[in-house]
Amino acid sequence: MRFTGVWILLWLWALALLPTGTTWISTSWPGWNGALAQRSGGGVGGRGGFSTPRPAPSIPRVNPSPSPSLPLPTPRSYPSYPTYPRDYYPPSYPSYPSTRPPIYINPGTGYGFDLVALLFIGGIILVSFSMIRGLQRAGSGIGAGGEPESTVARLRLATLFTPELQGNLRHMAQAADTESVRGLADLMDNAAVLLLRDQAGWRFGLYEVWTGGLQKAEGQFDTWLTETRSEFLETYRHFEGKEVVQAGYQPKAEPDGRYILVTLLLAVSGSLPPVPTPLRREGARQALMALASSSPTNTLAAYVAWTPEAEGEALTEQDLLLGWPRLELL
């Protein structure tokens, strides 16, 4: 007991000598760094395609065939023959007026199936099977042709920083029409063009795809959008027609900063062209072409973000590895 008390006193004495604010455990969350989140960033886009009224899925109609009808005999008139005495035999009988024998139906007998009734039953079975398959596709988010009902894709591309690229991204965001699906499709096209012109500076990238039902696609888009916005301090934002500019921000320049990270987020109805994995440089190019293949008819939402946004700032390679550890070397 005496030795235990001595150890406790020594431990308390050591705690008292520690400087104020000493941290015992440091926690690092993927995609989040306290210092990195204070860097500037910009974003532009909208999700007006989700609010556009779309035709409801058509339910196949069942048109029952008419009930089968059986042929009925047609009444016929037969000639009357003259009466003769019992001992008289006429030389010949008159010929029957028709060579086709009469048809007689005895109801209540026979167990055969009519061809029309058989086809009617088969049609009901086929329609019921197609309705069940349609309900299964609707529950799994798969369209009639085996195509997913909606797709959400996100491309991150870290490229060498240039003031021209940073300025072009800001000008593109200011001129974008973020209140129509045509403007969102054009925004994705313009962002892809800017990055394709800068292929020589690509260094890291990451491409993610989610497929599912249309009702869950907006939630997935919002999840990735919130995660992207939380990675930096928004000094400029143009979202669905509203522009917000943060004034008084002081750029945090670093001598070894030489990267800019651009994130493209897109939601479409249907599917996007496949992209090979691992990403590599050719995969990044195909990912940009896949995002640029969107059109006003299938675009649901689009967002383009970049960091840093303020002039004079650039990311270091350590910033990229700590803030986005899943990035792949291109």
Encoded tokens for 112: 């055969």
Q: What is the mean pLDDT of residues 159-178?
A: 95
pLDDT band of residue 328 (cuts 50, 70, 90) is very high
Q: What is the mean pLDDT of residues 212-218?
A: 91
What pLDDT does residue 247 have?
85
Cα distances from 1 to residues 8, 10, 15, in angstroms, run 11, 14, 21
pLDDT of residue 158 exceeding 60? yes
Q: What 3-state DSSP class applies to 177?
A: coil
pLDDT of residue 116 exceeding 90? no
Spatial strand order in the sheet of 202-212: 242-245, 233-239, 40-46, 299-307, 259-269, 150-160, 202-212, 328-329
Percent of the chain at pLDDT exceeding 70: 62
pLDDT band of residue 111 (cuts 50, 70, 90) is very low
- Note the pLDDT tens digit of each residue in 12-22: 555 544 443 33
CA dihedral 158, 267, 153, 155 (to 10 degrees): -10
Q: How many CA atoms lie within 13 A of 162 on its CB side?
A: 14
Q: What 3-state DSSP class applies to 156?
A: strand
The predicted model scores a pTM of: 0.65
Residue whose tokens read 């800068």: 198
Cα distances from 8 to residues 1, 3, 4, 14, 17, in angstroms, run 11, 9, 6, 10, 15
- Note the pLDDT tens digit of each residue in 235-261: 999 999 999 998 888 888 788 889 999
Specify the range with the lowest mean pLDDT, choosing from 3-17, 253-267, 285-299. Answer: 3-17
Contact, 211 vs 150, CB < 8 A? yes
Residue whose tokens read 């591309």: 157
CA 134 to the chain's CA centroid: 18
Give 290 or 89, the one with higher predicted confidence: 290
pLDDT band of residue 119 (cuts 50, 70, 90) is confident
Encoded tokens for 241: 């027609």
Q: How many CA atoms lie within 13 A of 15 on its CB side?
A: 7
Residue 302: count other Cβ atoms within 10 Å of its Cβ: 30
pLDDT band of residue 25 (cuts 50, 70, 90) is very low
* Cα–Cα nearest to 229, from 247, 244, 214, 215: 244
